[in-house]
Structure 1
């Protein structure tokens, strides 16, 4: 049975969204080697950043904690960490962004609205849970509040949500968010869309890649959960687009082929959010106090420490991280660190010695 409701041919027929950004190229397709592409990335980032501020700012941005969970240190901090703990903790958060179009229409975007309950069945995390005693799991996993609970607290109805977006679709099960076309045995029914008016913004490259997963990708996707998801729930984009005032989606390939980052213009300057790295200090490793990180980056002359659970195209991911860093403004809390907001941010825990972050953002809060 076809595991996805699309193929490489019908993806091209799905409608898209946003205004293309001519300044930014999909650097993975630029001529030359990865070093030449890195030079181009820096130049294009400077040009786009100069243009981006002129698009305005969104009406508001709110941050919502969803879940704190264990994650292998060797993935989150690549080869840099000298911590004793085999696992660190990350907190997955959702951003709720609101704005008005030029014609006055109100818009709501949910960035990283993970269905935590269903996400736990991602093959890698499911196998990890089966090997972890319950008493340890209860200490290491903390669920904060659900997507719908957070929205209720913010006074946002599900019907008001226009867009759902993830930096990539690892771990995501969207059936309860966008509905299905058939009965779902594991959910004891056919779920109606919790967000009946929302579309999922995703890179076409990721949809094409998901149609036939490579072994490097399989531990991180839930292909069976997409079998009965309607194809029309997706709004695929190609490359980078302006979505609204002070809101851009920038293609950042590498972590997955169709990775994308959210770029936001706020009262404190430009922020970027994705899961390409798990801490702001991973973009300024020379200032990190995490054991081994500063020394490792200095010895290897690396400007960043990647989140490397996948190694689909590592050089492209590195170049994407430099693009992200080049777009951000310095933090007003500590200008040594950029306004990069990891969608899953490193979180200190007593169970994980040597993994307490030097600096954390914890939230983006903006009101115009």
Structure 2
């Protein structure tokens, strides 16, 4: 696979919004992973207070894209007791809108996956080639597309300012932000004009740098050729934590991948976090889980979270990142035992995965009035 042609250092470095300093020094905390974990826990209270004071966005709405199979040994790591080699996860897109102090409206799409092109990810392409057709039809269900959801919401693609993913596993954004040269698999004769002409893809610089020279453990999950000819003026490399707008922030949460980031939202029900560091809210409180094995694993090894771990780029960091997410969010108003952690890929009950039925699911984040989509 060919590394992307763009030079990461040349990408736009001016962060949108305002840098967040609460967790900025985490990499320099003296001591080992345990010291960093304690440090993060101590800083979480300060972040909660500061972030809540920024206000709330105008609107958060949730739009399902697809369900797909995912290895149980990755999604629930070593904890579950189930014969099912695969469980089922659901990917959803969030639409977030807010107004800046000067009155300008901003629109952010979180997890706007191009499902059709995402299937070319090496791991999932190999999995699909081996899976029986009836199983693919039963498990891999598509609920809608990014353009379709936006059209239904009455949002012109030109209104979208930011495209954000918690990380770039499986993601191919060529149709969203355009490519500067023809590519044989997508447009053999002409460059591709962006569907979102005014949008910036926001990604952590560390992940973009890693994609230029992938480790063998990373290669099954990325499509680096899809980033080779991207329009660099549509890619915004950021470094660390950023407040984008009232009640809207991105926190660097390395571990699942080194450049992982978490969307944090302040809503009418309190603070939420969304990433793929875990695939179920109960993975942050495994002793409340009825999934066979999770509670026992947590008690046996005194581990308070269950990771979603496939590439294992930095397991101790991912554990700390998930504790950070757990420490900053509020409890669910529908069941206070579970945190307002919204997995970007959420565990979903399915007959093909016995023993992996979630105890609790969020399914959506809803904030503001639906008319906020158009107003």
Q: TM-score, normalised by structure 1?
A: 0.97
Contact 2:13 2:238 in 1 (8 A): no
Residues 194-246 of structure 1: per-residue CA shift (max 9 Å, x gap)? 00000011111111111111111111100111111122211111110100000
SS in structure 2 at match of 1:346: strand
After superposition, the C-alpha distances for 1:299-336 in whole angstroms (9 at most, x for unaligned) are 01000000011200000000000000001000000000
SS at match of 1:149: helix
Asked if structure 2 preserves the Cα contact closer than 8 Å seen for 1:26 and 1:239, the reply is no
Partner of 1:333: 334
Change (3 A) 1:35 1:201: same
2:348 is the counterpart of 1:347: yes
Contact 1:14/1:232, CA 8 A, preserved across alignment: no
- Segments of structure 2 that go 5 or more residues without pairing to the other structure are 370-375
- Supply the RMSD in Å over aligned alpha carbons: 1.3
Contact 2:61 2:96 in 1 (8 A): yes
**Contact 1:88-1:352 within 8 A present in 2 as well:** yes
Kindly state the Cα deviation for residue 134 of structure 1 after the two structures are TM-superposed.
1.5
Cα gap change, 1:77 to 1:128, in 2 (>3 Å): same
Partner of 1:272: 273
Q: What are the equivalent positions in structure 2 for 1:47-58 lying under 5 Å apart?
A: 47-58=46-57
Task: Report SS of the residue matched to 1:187.
Answer: coil
| Cα pair 1:28 1:316 within 8 Å, conserved | no
Q: Which secondary structure state, in structure 2, belongs to the residue aligned with residue 109 of structure 1?
A: strand
Alignment match, 1:10: 10
Alignment of 1:181-200 (within 5 A): 181-189=180-188, 190-200=191-201
* Structure 2 equivalent of residue 324 of structure 1: 325
Counterparts of 1:315 and 1:173, CA distance in 2:
28
CA–CA separation in structure 2 for the residues paired with 1:43 and 1:330? 19
1:188 CA displacement: 3.5
Contact 2:167-2:260 at 8 Å conserved across structures? yes
Q: 1:366 — aligned with what?
A: 367
Q: 2:2, 2:225 within 8 Å by CA — same for their partners in 1?
A: no
SS at match of 2:342: strand
Residue of structure 1 in register with 2:373 after alignment = none
**Are 2:143 and 1:155 equivalent residues in the alignment?**
no
**Contact kept? 2:178, 2:231, Cα under 8 Å:** yes
* Number of residue pairs the alignment of both structures matches: 367
Cα 1:188/1:237, change in 2 over 3 Å:
closer
**C-alpha deviation, 1:168, in angstroms:** 0.5
Change (3 A) 1:95 1:75: same
Paired residues for 1:265-304 under 5 Å: 265-304=266-305
Mapped partners of 2:24, 2:316: distance in 1: 16
Shift of 1:338: 0.1
* Per-residue CA distance 1:37-63 (angstroms, 9 max, x = gap): 001100111111011111000000000
CA distance in 2, matches of 1:15, 1:51: 22
CA distance in 1, matches of 2:321, 2:112: 23
CA distance in 2, matches of 1:202, 1:285: 30
1:58, 1:88 → 2: CA distance? 34
The answer to whether the 8 Å contact 1:17/1:236 transfers is: no
Deviating more after overlay: 300-309 vs 128-137: 128-137
Residue number in structure 1 paired with 2:173:
174
Q: What pairs with 1:225-244 in structure 2 (closer than 5 Å)?
A: 225-244=226-245
d(CA) in 1 for partners of 2:30 and 2:254?
15
Provide, for residues 252-285 of structure 1, a one-character-per-residue CA deviation record: whole Å limited to 9, x for no partner: 0111111100000000000000000000000000
What does residue range 122-161 of structure 1 map to in structure 2 within 5 Å?
Answer: 122-161=121-160
Conserved 8 A contact 1:69-1:141? yes
Secondary structure of 1:48 counterpart: helix
SS, match of residue 307 in structure 2 = coil
Q: What is the CA–CA distance in structure 1 between the aligned matches of 2:27 and 2:131, rounded to whole Å?
A: 38
The secondary structure found in structure 2 opposite 1:253 is coil
